[in-house]
């Protein structure tokens, strides 16, 4: 067995650097940091000003307004005001097309696989740059509050976010001038805010119920030795407090004989009533009654709502979330009594009826809702940031690898063994074999990066597995294992399984990457995706051609007497033609010529194969070329 160790760790963080915790929400975003004076996490800003609505308004001069100012534009200029951009991050138009109509702004209907775009004032924006605008505003707000420049942050995402959504979030951070030290799951952050998991001996199962504005998430987490593991997630990306508002609007329409379709046509009137409905809902969280009048369509309407009526209106919506909770429990293979803690997150859990319903479902007297439900995620992110800043050395939290790790295979291709963003520690492995008969050594080159060709990725090191016993090509079973530990140290084992003989190695280790390099590599991978694809296909075709040439030559030379001169002649010609084409980059021509060679040799190749197998079976050794 051979083993090497390579340090791929990103640059270390200095103690003095302030790291922000950011909750980049669908509806609202918040920033928090751990106050060094008392070690407590706190949100930045004064009371009402803590929440920054995740809304971006773009004017005719392409100037951006973010937050409350932009939220007001939802009424007056809905087509220039982008909300819920988080729903679009890392998604294609196809991914979101089902809900395209529910956005007040214009999505560019590109049916391709690339990220969906938004068109405003005839200019096209992508969700990453719009999210970056929100992050920039948050960064600026933090800098004003703290009186210093901030360059590092931890950003939270829903537990179900896939790789491209997480990457898009990271990229938005970078665009905003923030080094994103980690992307943390929102439920993990919320648990941290309640101190759950901070004690290493904590061994708990937690349900995090997050009912925000437009989304509902339930996550079942298990904490063991400071490691948070997601057991299951469920939810509904189109259920949330906004549905409560809509239910109220519908109720008022029916009470006052307003045609809801007509109201929806009048975007401004509709937005006004919707905002009033939200106000009613918020009032009813600590008052039994709401009343207000509003003018539109040259009439005055007096809208009222009792808490009991409100509960009836939202009952079906809350029931939907409870159904998701039951499914999440089922997926985690847990019963309600196995849940130790329930954490309430999201502004909509301020509605007492929601809390009561959740308590009833999990049969608990207590839920964690003492903290501000719209602050918990940001507070937890700040705690994680504090840990990463090196201020709480005792705590270990799961990290991810910034770039994929893999080895070079035939044709200079990158074969990824540990994909980017895998949680560490992680072990992964794959089996390889030799490409030549009697091959007794195999060079294993280790690379880091996202490009298809190793030449475009970064070489971390290489070693040679020696003393492989002579066997025909394809017969040795070489097991390569990658083990990445929590400190980012990669160990690699290579074993030839058939022989089990102890192998010797040569190591040439190299060193880690700076953040700038990581960034550059990701950027290159994104911009070169299509070109890379073509190069990968070409390399694969050339490899296939070379393998075929090798096999043909082998058959030709080791079985001279079985072939006619003419057969030999045409085969050699075809080989010659294919070899020449392999020098160029015309994949189609290579394929064509390869087909021709296969066509010529197939009949007697089959004959010879039978012969060879016959020999092997009678114990004769196949000679290497």
Active-site positions read: 23, 86, 186, 210
Region from 23-31, 51-59, 296-304, 449-457 binding Mg ion, contact rule CB under 5 A? 23-31
CA distances from 153 to 66, 156, 160, 423, 543 (A): 19, 10, 21, 19, 44
448 binds ligand ADP (CB under 6 A): no
610 SS3 class: helix
| Beta carbon of residue 243, minimum distance to ligand ADP (angstroms, whole number) | 9
CA-CA distance, 564 to 605, in Å (whole number)? 13
Query: Of the candidates 45, 197, 212, 449, which one interacts with ligand ADP according to CB under 6 A?
Result: 212
Nearest Cα to Cα of residue 333 among 188, 220, 187, 203? 220
DSSP per position, 201-254: T-EEEEEEEEE-SS-EEEEEEEEETTEEEEEEEEEETT-SHHHHHHHHHHHHHH
Query: Of the candidates 77, 236, 242, 450, which one interacts with ligand ADP according to CB under 6 A?
Result: 242
53 binds Mg ion (CB under 5 A): no
| Beta carbon of residue 345, minimum distance to Mg ion (angstroms, whole number) | 6
Q: In terms of CB distance, is 25 or 235 closer to ligand ADP?
A: 25
User: Residue 250: is it exposed, middle or buried by C-beta count within 10 angstroms (0-12/13-18/19+)?
Assistant: middle
Report the residue number whose CB is nearest to ligand ADP: 347
| Beta carbon of residue 379, minimum distance to ligand ADP (angstroms, whole number) | 13
CA dihedral 568, 572, 573, 578 (to 10 degrees): 140
Q: In terms of CB distance, is 85 or 389 closer to Mg ion?
A: 85
Region from 130-138, 148-156, 347-355, 356-364 binding ligand ADP, contact rule CB under 6 A? 347-355
Region from 25-33, 67-75, 391-399, 576-584 binding ligand ADP, contact rule CB under 6 A? 25-33
| Beta carbon of residue 496, minimum distance to Mg ion (angstroms, whole number) | 52
DSSP per position, 115-152: BPEEEETTEEE-HHHHHHHHHHHHHHHHHHHHTS---E
21 binds Mg ion (CB under 5 A): no
347 binds ligand ADP (CB under 6 A): yes
25 binds Mg ion (CB under 5 A): yes
8 Å CB contact between 227 and 398: yes
Q: In terms of CB distance, is 33 or 290 closer to ligand ADP?
A: 290
| Beta carbon of residue 158, minimum distance to ligand ADP (angstroms, whole number) | 9
158 binds Mg ion (CB under 5 A): no
Q: In terms of CB distance, is 247 or 263 closer to ligand ADP?
A: 247
| Beta carbon of residue 340, minimum distance to ligand ADP (angstroms, whole number) | 24
CA-CA distance, 210 to 540, in Å (whole number)? 47
CA-CA distance, 625 to 617, in Å (whole number)? 20
406 binds Mg ion (CB under 5 A): no
How many residues make contact with ligand ADP (CB under 6 A)? 21
| Beta carbon of residue 270, minimum distance to ligand ADP (angstroms, whole number) | 16
Binding-residue pattern over the window 281 to 310 for ligand ADP, x denoting contact by CB under 6 A: xx--x-------------------------
Rule CB under 5 A: which of 210-269 touch Mg ion? 212
Query: Of the candidates 156, 239, 351, 422, which one interacts with ligand ADP according to CB under 6 A?
Result: 351
CA-CA distance, 166 to 159, in Å (whole number)? 10
User: Residue 393: is it exposed, middle or buried by C-beta count within 10 angstroms (0-12/13-18/19+)?
Assistant: exposed
CA distances from 84 to 25, 41, 107, 334, 355 (A): 8, 26, 12, 33, 25
Beta bridge partners, 302, equal 293
Region from 129-137, 148-156, 210-218, 578-586 binding ligand ADP, contact rule CB under 6 A? 210-218
CA-CA distance, 408 to 444, in Å (whole number)? 7
| E strands, 391-533, in order | 399-400, 405-409, 413-418, 423-424, 426-432, 442-448, 458-465, 478-484, 489-496
433 SS3 class: coil
8 Å CB contact between 562 and 604: yes
Residue 187 interacting entry, from Mg ion, ligand ADP, none, C-beta within 5 to 8 Å by type: none
Query: Of the candidates 8, 10, 18, 27, which one interacts with ligand ADP according to CB under 6 A?
Result: 27
Residue 411 interacting entry, from ligand ADP, Mg ion, none, C-beta within 5 to 8 Å by type: none
8 Å CB contact between 476 and 498: yes
Query: Of the candidates 67, 173, 214, 380, which one interacts with ligand ADP according to CB under 6 A?
Result: 214
Nearest Cα to Cα of residue 269 among 291, 283, 281, 252? 252
| Beta carbon of residue 26, minimum distance to Mg ion (angstroms, whole number) | 7
Residue 350 interacting entry, from Mg ion, ligand ADP, none, C-beta within 5 to 8 Å by type: ligand ADP
Length of the chain: 625
Rule CB under 6 A: which of 244-283 touch ligand ADP? 278, 281-282
CA-CA distance, 393 to 408, in Å (whole number)? 37
Q: In terms of CB distance, is 27 or 133 closer to ligand ADP?
A: 27
- Residues forming contacts to Mg ion in the complex (CB under 5 A) are 25, 212
Residues that bind ligand ADP (CB under 6 A): 25-28, 212-215, 240-242, 278, 281-282, 285, 346-348, 350-351, 374
């Amino acid at each position: 067995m051979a083993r090497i160790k390579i340090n791929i760790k990103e640059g270390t963080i200095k103690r003095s650097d302030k790291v922000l915790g950011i909750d980049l929400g669908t509806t609202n975003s918040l920033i928090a940091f751990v106050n060094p004076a008392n070690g407590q996490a706190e949100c930045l800003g004064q009371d009402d000003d803590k929440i920054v609505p995740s809304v971006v308004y773009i004017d005719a001069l392409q100037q951006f307004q973010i937050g409350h100012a932009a939220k007001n534009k939802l009424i007056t200029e809905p087509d220039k005001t982008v909300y819920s951009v988080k729903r679009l991050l890392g998604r294609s138009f196809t991914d979101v097309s089902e809900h395209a109509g529910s956005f007040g702004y214009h999505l560019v209907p590109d049916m391709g696989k690339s990220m969906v775009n938004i068109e405003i004032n005839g200019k096209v924006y992508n969700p990453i740059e719009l999210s970056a605008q929100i992050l920039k505003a948050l960064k600026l707000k933090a800098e004003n509050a703290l009186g210093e420049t901030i360059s590092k942050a931890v950003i939270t995402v829903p537990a179900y976010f896939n790789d491209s959504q997480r990457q898009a979030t990271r990229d938005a951070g970078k665009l905003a001038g923030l080094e994103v030290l980690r992307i943390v799951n929102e439920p993990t952050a919320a648990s941290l805010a309640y101190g759950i998991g901070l004690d290493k001996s904590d061994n708990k199962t937690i349900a995090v119920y997050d009912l925000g504005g437009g989304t509902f998430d339930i996550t079942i987490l298990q904490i063991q030795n400071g490691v948070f593991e997601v057991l299951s997630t469920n939810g509904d990306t189109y259920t949330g407090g906004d549905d409560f508002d809509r239910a109220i609007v519908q109720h008022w329409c029916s009470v006052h004989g307003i045609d809801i379709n007509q109201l929806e046509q009048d975007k401004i009137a509709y937005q006004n009533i919707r905002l009033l409905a939200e106000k009613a809902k918020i009032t009813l969280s600590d008052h039994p009654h709401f009343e207000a009048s509003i003018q539109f369509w040259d009439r005055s309407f007096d809208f009222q709502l009792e808490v009991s009526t409100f509960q009836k209106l939202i009952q079906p919506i809350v029931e939907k979330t409870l159904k998701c909770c039951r499914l999440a429990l089922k997926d985690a293979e847990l019963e309600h009594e196995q849940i130790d803690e329930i954490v309430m997150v999201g502004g909509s859990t301020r509605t007492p009826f929601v809390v009561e319903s959740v308590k009833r479902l999990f049969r608990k007297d207590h839920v964690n809702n003492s903290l501000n439900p719209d602050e918990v995620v940001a507070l937890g992110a700040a705690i994680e940031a504090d840990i990463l800043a090196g201020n709480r050395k005792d705590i270990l939290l799961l990290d991810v690898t910034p770039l994929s790790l893999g080895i070079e295979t035939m044709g200079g291709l990158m074969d990824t063994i540990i994909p980017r963003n895998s949680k560490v520690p992680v072990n992964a492995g794959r089996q390889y074999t030799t490409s030549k008969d009697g091959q007794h050594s195999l060079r294993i080159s280790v690379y880091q990066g996202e490009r298809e060709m190793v030449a475009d990725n970064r070489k971390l090191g290489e070693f040679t597995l020696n003393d492989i016993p002579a066997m025909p090509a394809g017969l040795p079973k070489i097991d390569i294992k990658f083990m990445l530990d929590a400190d980012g140290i990669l160990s690699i084992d290579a074993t030839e399984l058939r022989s089990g003989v102890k192998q010797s190695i040569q190591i040439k280790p190299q060193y880690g990457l700076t953040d700038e390099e990581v960034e550059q590599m990701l950027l290159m991978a994104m911009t070169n995706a299509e070109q890379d694809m073509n190069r990968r296909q070409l390399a694969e075709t050339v490899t296939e051609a070379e393998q075929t040439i090798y096999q043909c030559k082998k058959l030709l030379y080791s079985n001279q007497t079985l072939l006619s001169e003419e057969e030999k002649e045409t085969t050699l010609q075809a080989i010659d033609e294919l070899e020449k084409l392999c020098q160029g980059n015309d994949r189609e021509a290579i394929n064509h010529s390869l087909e021709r060679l296969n066509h010529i040799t197939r009949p007697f190749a089959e004959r010879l194969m039978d012969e060879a197998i016959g020999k092997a079976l009678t114990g004769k050794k196949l000679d290497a070329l």
